[in-house]
Structure 1
Amino acid sequence: MQQAGTAAPEVSDRPAYTLWQLVLYFLGLGTFGFGGPVALAGYMHRDLVERRGWISDGDYKEGIALAQLAPGPMAAQLAIYLGYVHYRVLGATLIGLAFVLPSFLMVLALGWAYVRFGGLTWMQSVFYGVGAAVIGIIAISAYKLTTKSVGKDKLLWAIYLVLAAVTIITESEIALLFLAAGVLAWFWRAPPQWLRQGGANALAATQLPAASGLLGTLDWPLLAQIGVFFAKAGAFVFGSGLAIVPFLYGGVVTDHQWLNDKQFVDAVAVAMITPGPVVITVGFIGYLVAGLPGACVAALATFLPCYLLTVLPAPYFKKYGKLPAILAFVEGVTAAAVGAITGAVIVLAKRSIVDVPTILLALATVALLVKFKKLPEPVIIAGAALIGLAVYPMLRH
Structure 2
Amino acid sequence: MLKEVEGRQEITFKEAFAVWVRIGLLSFGGPAGQIALMHRTIVDEKKWLDESRFLHALNYCMLLPGPEAQQLATYIGWLLHGVRGGLVAGLLFILPGALAIFVLSWIYVVYGDLAITEGVFFGLKAAVLAIVLQALIRIGRRTLQGILKPALAVGGFVALFVFSLPFPLVVLSAGIIGYLVARWSAPDASRQPRPDAFTETTLRPGTQQAALCCLLLWGLTVAALFMVLGDESVFTQIAVFFSKMATVTFGGAYAVLSYVAQQGVETFQWLEPGEMLEGLGLAETTPGPLILVTQFVGFLAAYRDGAGEPSLLMASAGALLTTWVTFLPCFLWIFAGAPYVEKLRNNHGLSSALSAITAVVVGVIANLALWFAVNAVFGEHQRFTTGWGINMQLPVLDSINAPMMTLAVIAMVCAFRLKMAMLPLLGTCATLGVLWVFWTQ
TM tier, shorter chain? 0.7 to 0.9
Q: 1:366 to 1:382 in 2, by over 3 A?
A: same
Give the TM-score of the pair, scaled to structure 1. 0.79
Aligned residues: 360
Establish whether residue 304 from structure 1 lines up as the match of residue 328 from structure 2.
yes
SS of 1:313's equivalent?
Answer: helix
Give the alignment of 1:100-119 within 5 angstroms.
100-119=94-113
Deviations 1:12-58 (A, max 9, x none): 57864432432333223222332222332333333344434555666
Give the alignment of 1:131-210 within 5 angstroms.
131-151=125-145, 153=147, 157=151, 160-161=154-155, 163-164=157-158, 166-167=160-161, 174-182=166-174, 184-186=176-178, 188-189=180-181
Give the alignment of 1:168-317 within 5 angstroms.
174-182=166-174, 184-186=176-178, 188-189=180-181, 219=231, 221-290=233-302, 291-317=315-341
Give the alignment of 1:317-396 within 5 angstroms.
317-353=341-377, 354-373=400-419, 375-395=420-440
Q: Residue type of the partner of 1:344? A: L
Per the alignment, residue 199 of structure 1 pairs with: none
Give the alignment of 1:74-89 within 5 angstroms.
74-89=68-83
Q: Residue type of the partner of 2:322? A: A
1:235 Cα deviation after fit: 2.9
Query: Contact 1:231–1:304 at 8 Å: present in 2 too?
Result: no
Q: Residue type of the partner of 1:123? A: T
1:191 Cα deviation after fit: 7.2
Per the alignment, residue 203 of structure 1 pairs with: none
Ranges in structure 2 where 5+ consecutive residues have no aligned partner: 185-229, 303-314, 378-399
SS of 2:270's equivalent?
Answer: coil
1:106 Cα deviation after fit: 0.3
1:156 Cα deviation after fit: 5.7
Q: 1:333 to 1:52 in 2, by over 3 A?
A: closer
Per the alignment, residue 43 of structure 1 pairs with: 37
Query: Contact 2:97–2:292 at 8 Å: present in 1 too?
Result: yes
Q: 1:159 to 1:138 in 2, by over 3 A?
A: closer
1:92 Cα deviation after fit: 0.8
Deviations 1:267-290 (A, max 9, x none): 111111111222211112211112
Query: Contact 1:167–1:246 at 8 Å: present in 2 too?
Result: no
Deviations 1:114-168 (A, max 9, x none): 1111111111111111101211221232244345444563686366345446446
Q: Residue type of the partner of 1:337? A: V
Query: Contact 2:32–2:138 at 8 Å: present in 1 too?
Result: no
1:104 Cα deviation after fit: 0.2
Give the TM-score of the pair, scaled to structure 2. 0.72
1:228 Cα deviation after fit: 2.5
Deviations 1:218-245 (A, max 9, x none): 9553223222222333333344432322
The 1-side partners of 2:152 and 2:25 are apart by: 39
Q: 1:50 to 1:157 in 2, by over 3 A?
A: closer
Compute the RMSD of aligned alpha carbons.
Answer: 3.1
Identity over aligned pairs, percent = 26
